[in-house]
């Protein structure tokens, strides 16, 4: 998300719309508990979040970038609001939908190290048939697959962290002085 909002965005308005979509995407989930929530405090939170969602939608629609878009691209932004999604890229006044799998391409990562990372981690994160068999086989007798998987996962985590640090320094160049002190 950091890369999508900062290095990938060309203008402050693009950053702002992406950020607001991201915030908006998280808010509706608590409202699924409407009807079963009994605490006044939680009901108040849900009500405030509904107001916040409306305020975000309004702020997006009042932004100069949104207003400069044609109906089709404004509709794409509204679709993202409705779908509780925020994975977009701007090409001028045009909105391009992205998927998690496409984020690697958007991040301009060289090589194919992370091309399949979303699918790979999804296989372990979701209770699919494959995930169950992978877990079973990983810890079978005389199996050491778990060691290879841990090493691969650590390498991937270090790679992603390195990309984040690089993006962070590009976005906030003043932190480079702090980073250089770590030698």
155: helix, strand or coil? helix
Domain boundary pick from 70, 98, 126: 98
The arithmetic mean of pLDDT across residues 63-80, rounded, is 97
87 SS3 class: coil
The domain boundary residue, chosen from 98, 122, 156: 98
Output the six-digit token pair for 128. Answer: 């699919």
Contacts of 26 (CB under 8 A, 6+ apart): 84
Residue 85 and residue 130 in one domain? no
Residue 16: Cβ-neighbour burial (10 angstroms; 0-12, 13-18, 19+): middle
- Residue whose structure tokens are 């890229």: 89
Residue 47's pLDDT band (cuts 50, 70, 90): confident
Number of domains in the chain: 2
- Which is nearest to 121 in space by CA: 147, 156, 88? 156
Determine the straight-line distance between the first and last CA of the chain, rounded to whole angstroms. 28
Mean pLDDT over residues 87-93, rounded?
93
Side-chain-side CA neighbours of residue 67 (13 Å) = 5
Q: Which residue is associated with the tokens 């998690």?
A: 100
What are the beta bridge partners of residue 88?
A: 97
| pLDDT tier for residue 6 given thresholds of 50, 70 and 90 | confident
**What's residue 141's pLDDT?**
66
Q: Quick one: pLDDT at residue 58?
A: 97
- Residue-wise pLDDT for 105-163, tens only, equals 777 676 666 767 777 777 777 777 877 777 777 766 666 777 888 888 898 889 889 88
Per-residue CA distances from 53 to 22, 31, 60, 114 (Å): 11, 11, 11, 33
For residues 90, 9, 109 and 102, what is the CA-based torsion angle, rounded to 10 degrees? -30
* Predicted pLDDT at 15: 94
Residue 77 pLDDT level (bands cut at 50, 70, 90): very high
pLDDT digits (tens, 9 = 90+) for 53-64: 999 999 999 999
Nearest C-alpha neighbor of 120 from the set 167, 159, 85, 88: 159
pLDDT at 96: 94
Q: Which of 65-69, 94-98, 136-140, 176-180 has the lowest mean pLDDT?
A: 136-140
Asked if residue 13 and residue 77 are part of one domain, the reply reads: yes
On whether both 72 and 33 belong to a single domain, the answer is yes
Reported as a single tens digit per residue, the pLDDT across 33-43 is: 777 777 888 78
Domain region containing 13: 2-98
- Bridge partners of residue 90, in order along the sequence: 95
- Which residues, listed in sequence order, are joined to residue 91 by a DSSP beta bridge? 94
Same domain, 68 and 123: no
Domain boundary among 69, 98, 127: 98
Average pLDDT, the chain: 85
Statement to judge: residues 143 and 165 lie in one domain: yes
């Amino acid at each position: 998300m950091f890369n999508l909002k900062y290095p990938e965005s060309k203008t402050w308005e693009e950053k702002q719309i992406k950020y607001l979509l991201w915030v908006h995407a998280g808010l509706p989930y608590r409202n699924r508990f409407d009807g079963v929530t009994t605490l006044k405090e939680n009901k108040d939170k849900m009500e405030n979040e509904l107001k916040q969602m409306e305020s975000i939608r309004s702020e997006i629609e009042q932004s100069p970038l949104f207003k400069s878009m044609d109906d089709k691209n404004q509709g794409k932004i509204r679709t993202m609001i409705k779908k509780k999604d925020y994975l977009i890229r701007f090409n001028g006044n045009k909105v391009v939908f992205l998927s998690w799998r496409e984020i690697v391409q958007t991040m301009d990562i060289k090589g194919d190290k992370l091309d399949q990372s979303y699918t790979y981690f999804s296989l372990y994160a979701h209770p699919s048939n494959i995930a169950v068999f992978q877990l079973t086989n990983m810890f079978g007798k005389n199996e050491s697959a778990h060691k290879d998987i841990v090493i691969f996962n650590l390498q991937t985590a270090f790679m992603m962290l390195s990309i984040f640090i690089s993006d962070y320094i590009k976005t906030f160049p003043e932190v480079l002085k702090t980073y250089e002190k770590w030698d």
